[in-house]
Amino acid sequence: MIQAIVFLPLLAALVAGLGQRFIGTAASKIVTTGALFASCALSWPIFLSFLGGDAEASVTPVLHWVSSGALQFNWELRVDTLTAVMLVVITTVSALVHLYSWGYMEEDPDQPRFFAYLSLFTFAMLMLVTANNLVQMFFGWEGVGLASYLLIGFWYKKPSANAAAIKAFVVNRVGDLGFMLGIFGTFLVFNTVSIPEILAAAPGMAGSTIGFLGQRFDTMTVLCLLLFIGAMGKSAQLGLHTWLPDAMEGPTPVSALIHAATMVTAGVFMVCRLSPMFEVAPIALGVVTFVGAATCLFAATVGTTQWDIKRVIAYSTCSQLGYMFFAAGVGAYGAAMFHLFTHAFFKALLFLGAGSVIHAMHHEQDMRYYGGLRKHIPLTYWAMMAGTLAITGVGIAGVFGFAGFYSKDGILEAAYASGGGGQIAFWVGTFAALLTSFYSWRLVFLTFFGKPRWAASEHIQHAVHGDHHDRPADEHAGGDVHHAHAADAHEGTAGYHPHESPLSMLIPLGVLSVGAIFAGYLFHHPFIYPEEGMAFWNGSLAFDAHLMHAAHEVPTLIKWMPFAAMAIGLLIAWNSYIRNTALPARFVAQFGLLHQFLFNKWYFDELYNLLFVKPAFAIGRFFWKRGDEGTIDRFGPDGVAALVQGGTRLAVRLQSGYVYGYAFVMLLGLVGLASWVMVRFL
């Protein structure tokens, strides 16, 4: 069964990618979507069997892979509770994204290539989460990076899409360097890349040291920090986060897949999979806690100022990943995985809902040109409401809550119960929850409430007047385009009426809405409750039952803090964008520098451009002009060519064609030879 789950997406990707000219667009979509729904249907019984306590961890061999001295390992598919959770997350969201793309990508001429990339992306992630050794995990890790590059730059004729794809690829290579060094160091220390063997031996390495950068450091701290650098790149943590917002240049279904189920969750999964290693390295856990909390706060502050609907949700992803990491940092790995699980549903829902809005608004992504859409696209509106209620953590303890209520509150309570740096993370996370509520409801109010502001949108004007040829975002130039048909296209922008998305897009929204509403309520006990959690995880990660018990015993005031933060954020957003719409402009005028700082993403891009990009280009130009052209070419091929050309010119001048000229040269040669003989021998 596990072989089918993993390899069906790969087979579908090969059929759609290589055979698209033979089977056509419709067959390519059917094959890829059908394969993902089949994988999804096979994944849920595995998850439910672990949920019911009826399953045990298993390893399925595929083939003997590498045998080189001490380095020997097979290609094996590991299935335990942690894998089962990831299987349902990946296959469910990916299957729904495939179906959603039937409607969203209907106008695109390269649909087979798009669906092949989606399936390849899914296969790479499945390979990562089923890995039984670090090399196989790295294979999936790099496969996800490759697929993300292909999907972000899917519209390759669009310069900004190409730039975003390259940025994602390069930034992730920085993180992957740390991940590779961590794998090399782990093999050096444990003499194996087998994950079960490494985790079993990790406690015995406590207190040992290793040479690194000319100094001696704690072995497990060095290894875990190097591995965490890889997680920072893949999961867009502060410092290596800059690629994630730019990934919005890809089609919206790609954003949902990257942000909800695949690439960005790989780092969280890796830390939880290797949690017994991190438990032996408290300093590394402290770094994970700090970076996670800082990322959570940073992304939330930036999300409050963005106008692009997809960019707001992108920074939301970055912030939510911060929650997952500081949960892992305080030792609440079950809570981290639970938030990963619930986040997959409501974040995919928010992205696909945003795609439905963009579809209705003729690829307009600026929320300043929305307004009043709840009357025109009511199904999308209610889906986005479900996602917003989930991400902001609306709920009442002991009664009912949306998905994020259980998982986010579980993280914050565990952070508070852990003490020390965990309590700092609690207060940072609580403030970030307030900001999350503000920017999430700001998105809802700007998009679905108030008066329509469509007339100012250039994109809507193009849609109404039928002018599709000079837009840089046209599908032939690689833009995010879907032709919204106006009911009255000749009466100006006032005659434009947004329309609801097709059924292929609404069905995934409905399914994900169910997950956003009920996933937390149904599954919070096995994921984070002390007794049930021990039985559910069954050693697949380092579940600290004592910490989770303490988390459920925190003071009542602490339990209600996240709810209070959510309510305050909601009230501020309502007051600013419904009751008193002039307030945001006054705030910006009064706190212009702060707003500019946040709107420009803390100037990370500008700083990196100054520190890394410009010097790299300067070094490249130096070696190009002075090294390659000025030295190698000048004295190498160009120099030899010039010498040959000069000799040729001289030879041409000597070849006059007159006999007396040749006789004169011969005479000079004889005179020279005779002179040399006389001087040499007489």
CB 345 within 8 A of CB 403: yes
pLDDT score at 411: 95
Q: With 60 as the cut, is the pLDDT of residue 206 above it? A: yes
Higher pLDDT, 108 or 98: 98
Q: What are the boundaries of each domain within the chain?
A: 161-591
pLDDT score at 45: 94
Average pLDDT over residues 418-442: 94
Would you give the DSSP letter of residue 486? P
By percentage, how much of the chain surpasses pLDDT 90? 60
Q: Which amino acid is at 258?
A: I
- Model confidence at 466, pLDDT cuts 50, 70, 90, reads low
Average pLDDT over residues 301-325: 93
CA distances from 530 to 131, 302, 534, 577, 663 (A): 27, 36, 6, 42, 108
CA distance 150 to 110: 13
Instruction: Give 218's strand partners.
Output: 209
Q: Strand pairing of 58-68 and 209-212?
A: unpaired
Q: With 70 as the cut, is the pLDDT of residue 13 above it? A: yes
Average pLDDT over residues 575-591: 92
Q: With 60 as the cut, is the pLDDT of residue 593 above it? A: yes
pLDDT score at 494: 53
pLDDT score at 461: 66
pLDDT score at 418: 92
- Model confidence at 488, pLDDT cuts 50, 70, 90, reads very low
- Model confidence at 232, pLDDT cuts 50, 70, 90, reads very high
**Which of 204-208, 431-435, 514-518 is predicted with the least confidence, judged by mean pLDDT?**
204-208
pLDDT score at 484: 36
- Give burial (CB, 10 Å; 0-12/13-18/19+) of 469: exposed
How far the first Cα of the chain sits from its last, in Å, is: 100
CB 541 within 8 A of CB 337: yes
pLDDT score at 280: 94
Average pLDDT over residues 400-424: 93
pLDDT score at 307: 92
CA distance 288 to 282: 10
pLDDT score at 632: 80
**Which of 179-188, 225-234, 482-491, 651-660 is predicted with the least confidence, judged by mean pLDDT?**
482-491
- Model confidence at 84, pLDDT cuts 50, 70, 90, reads very high
Q: With 50 as the cut, is the pLDDT of residue 3 above it? A: yes
The encoded tokens of residue 66 equal: 């590498």
Q: With 60 as the cut, is the pLDDT of residue 9 above it? A: yes
Q: With 80 as the cut, is the pLDDT of residue 509 above it? A: yes
Q: With 70 as the cut, is the pLDDT of residue 401 above it? A: yes
CA distance 614 to 610: 6
**Which of 257-271, 325-339, 609-623 is predicted with the least confidence, judged by mean pLDDT?**
257-271
Tens of pLDDT along 353-362?
A: 999 999 888 8
Q: Which residues of 116-129 are buried (b: 16+ CB within 10 A; e: fewer)?
A: bbbbbbbbbbbbbb
CA distance 65 to 180: 19
Average pLDDT over residues 13-33: 90
From the list 176, 167, 129, the residue with the least C-alpha distance to 344 is 129
CA distance 418 to 402: 25
Q: With 60 as the cut, is the pLDDT of residue 470 above it? A: no
Tens of pLDDT along 606-663?
A: 998 899 889 998 998 888 888 787 788 777 777 778 788 888 877 777 677 777 777 8
- Model confidence at 588, pLDDT cuts 50, 70, 90, reads very high
Tens of pLDDT along 364-383?
A: 888 999 988 999 999 999 99
Query: In 16-108, at which residue ranges do the beta strands (DSSP E only) sit?
Result: 58-68, 71-79
CA distances from 366 to 306, 371, 377 (A): 9, 11, 17
Q: With 90 as the cut, is the pLDDT of residue 19 above it? A: no
The encoded tokens of residue 370 equal: 């929305």
pLDDT score at 434: 96
